[in-house]
Amino acid sequence: MKTRIILPDTDGISEAGAILRSGGLVAFPTETVYGLGANALDATATKHIYEAKGRPSDNPMIVHVANIDMLNGVASGVTDAQKAIMSKLWPGPITFVLHKNPAVPDVTTGGLDTVAVRWPSRREAAEIIEAAGVPIAAPSANISGKPSPTTFEDVAEDMDGRIDAIVKGERTAIGIESTVLDLTSEVPTILRPGFITKSQIEEAACC
């Protein structure tokens, strides 16, 4: 497979969106690390992510959205309390675990009945997701077990020849993964520490 290199200009974002919409794999920069994206609602496409990364199939992927309609398309029964927390911390480097909408294939969530959802704040990421018009499953764009990539060069080293395209953006601003917060239980629980701290979450939850 020949991997296309795409610039994050208007034409490039449109091209990346079209590839994702048609079931292809595109690596793109977010504010945290580079993600390897596929249509989250397409079981065949998300299966290809596992293959490209050498990722265990029971390891759920984070679904990236760029608007509320996309959130409602992948999560079900989102409560007002959950929305209140999300509205204070999104868009940004935090992922929320919610109850899954049946439209999301099991392969995307590793067979779980929950779905991990993030709304990235980086312009290119949000615009690519909007251009695709579908929620995007996107774990880090690296071979499983290797460090998460923060530059185009890191991604190309692992993914050139394995995926359809790489969006060549600047180094990611944060460089570590998003915080993962489970909102499906009565008390929100941090499942993975990340850039957003416990104190920031507590402040968002209490006020």
Judged against a pLDDT cut of 70, whether residue 207 lies above it is answered with no
User: CA angle at residue 116 from 142 to 179, to 5 degrees?
Assistant: 70
For the beta sheet containing 62-64, the strands, ordered from the edge strand earlier in sequence to the opposite edge, are 4-6, 165-167, 26-29, 34-39, 136-137, 62-64, 114-118, 94-99, 179-182, 189-192
Q: What is the mean pLDDT of residues 129-148?
A: 98
User: pTM here?
Assistant: 0.96
172 touches 163 (CB < 8 A): no
Judged against a pLDDT cut of 80, whether residue 133 lies above it is answered with yes
Q: Number of structural domains, the chain?
A: 1
Judged against a pLDDT cut of 90, whether residue 206 lies above it is answered with no
Q: What is the mean pLDDT of residues 137-148?
A: 97
Model confidence over 152-167: pLDDT tens digits?
999 999 999 999 999 9
Q: Between 99 and 206, where is the model more confident?
A: 99
Q: What is the Cα–Cα distance from 197 to 125, expressed in whole angstroms?
A: 22
Model confidence over 73-131: pLDDT tens digits?
999 999 999 999 999 999 999 999 999 999 999 999 999 999 999 999 999 999 999 99
Q: What is the Cα–Cα distance from 75 to 94, expressed in whole angstroms?
A: 16
145 touches 2 (CB < 8 A): no
Q: Which is it for strands 26-29 and 189-192: parallel, antiparallel or unpaired? A: unpaired
Domain holding 115: CATH number?
3.90.870.10
Model confidence over 15-53: pLDDT tens digits?
999 999 999 999 999 999 999 999 999 999 999 999 999
Closest alpha carbon to 52 in 30, 33, 26, 31: 26
Q: Residue 147: which domain range?
A: 4-206
pLDDT band at 205 (very low <50, low <70, confident <90, very high): confident
